[in-house]
Amino acid sequence: MSAYDTVSFKKGGERWRYEIERDNAASQRQAVLTFLAEVAELDQKNREDFIKEHKPYDDMGGLTQEEYDNTLVDMNRKYWGQFKDGVEKKLLILELTLADKQVLSQARSIRTAFNADGTILASNKNGKYPNPYKNPFFNSPSSISPNMEKALEKLKETAINRLHPTPLETPAEQPRRLGTQHEQDSLPSGHKDNQNT
């Protein structure tokens, strides 16, 4: 194998490896963005269904304050549970897709956020639920709590920062410039001339 063939083989191998890394990063990044879009869709559907079910109670529907509060708590717990189930199914698929450890760790933090939310929504030892007017869940039909919003934002940020090709690629139509004089001298003269134009 000539010196030129050796350099070409080495550079070809680097580009082949780079393209695999680039494709892997792109597929993982797209998986994260798809997951985030699906979470937003689930939350939007939850909002719409919640508002529709709540419509008869806009004027408390003839209920006492206590009855209305209990109904509100039940509705929020119901829709949060549906949201949690839907997100966790999609999260499992995402976890199986991710190879980057930092992004995977951040994806798993979504489960931690759900656990924290579940504690907020849980009843106390007397079976009483938190005051719905002091609970951030009950101030909006959204099932995304402040904890969850932070986890989702951090996942997006981590994926964008981590899942990009390294090193940055020179456009395919422009050959990458060889670094050492030895490598330059190994090229046919016509090729060296082209690089200097």
Residues spanned by the domain of 142 = 11-163
Q: 11-54 pLDDT, tens per residue?
A: 555 554 555 556 788 899 999 999 999 999 999 999 999 999 98
Q: 53-110 pLDDT, tens per residue?
A: 989 888 887 899 888 888 888 898 899 999 999 999 999 999 999 999 999 999 999 9
CATH code of the domain in which 83 resides: 1.20.120
Specify the higher pLDDT residue, 125 or 54.
Answer: 54
**Domain count of the chain?**
1
Would you say residue 184 lies in a domain?
no
Would you say residue 128 lies in a domain?
yes
Would you say residue 174 lies in a domain?
no
Take residue 56 and report the two structure tokens written for it: 């008869």
Would you say residue 96 lies in a domain?
yes
Helix axes 146-162, 101-121, angle to 10 degrees: 180
Would you say residue 39 lies in a domain?
yes
Would you say residue 37 lies in a domain?
yes
CA 43, CA 36: separation in Å to the nearest integer? 11
Would you say residue 154 lies in a domain?
yes
- For 53, the enclosing helix (H) or strand (E) is helix 3-54
Q: Which long-range contacts (CB under 8 A, 24 or more apart) does 74-77 make?
A: 75/50, 76/50, 76/121, 76/132, 76/137, 76/138, 77/121, 77/129
Would you say residue 193 lies in a domain?
no
CA dihedral 148, 151, 157, 159 (to 10 degrees): -110
